Amino acid sequence: HIHMYIHTNTCIYTYTYTYICTYIHTYIHTYIHTYIYTYIHTCIHTYTHTYTHKHIHTHIHTYIYIHIHTYMYIHVHTYIYIHIHIHIRTYTYTCIHTYIYIHMIIHIHTHIHTYRHTYMHTDTYIHINTYITSVSA
């Protein structure tokens, strides 16, 4: 998926994002799942902002996202999950930004519960998170 666009305007850019999510989930589930996911996203965003003082600001945003997710899950679990998330963000910016994000998660989880209350729990979590960021206004 490659999305590229060039946008030019003469206004102050203000972005307001409000996210409200309420999630209530109850289940009894047993499954074995193997999941391999690769996602590459490149986005180039360029716009020119002109103030009344004839200053020209150019914003170039390059976004490369490589996500490799290997997921092996053996799970016998009963839970009630309630999640409320409120996120409000407002910003105005003009900059040149180069952003490279590499994210890798390897998660192996095993949970065995017998009627004699014997537990076997193995949780291996490897998280590699690399940022290469360059911002200049």
Three-state secondary structure of 58-77: EEEEEEEEEEEEEEEEEEEE
Q: How far apart are CA 47 and CA 60, in angstroms?
A: 7
Please give the pLDDT value at position 45. Answer: 52
7 — pLDDT class (breaks 50, 70, 90): very low
Average confidence (pLDDT) over 119-135:
49
**Average pLDDT score, the chain:** 50
pTM of the full predicted structure?
A: 0.16
Please give the pLDDT value at position 66. Answer: 52
- Residues 66-125 have pLDDT tens digits of 555 555 555 444 455 555 555 545 444 444 444 455 445 455 555 555 555 544 555 545
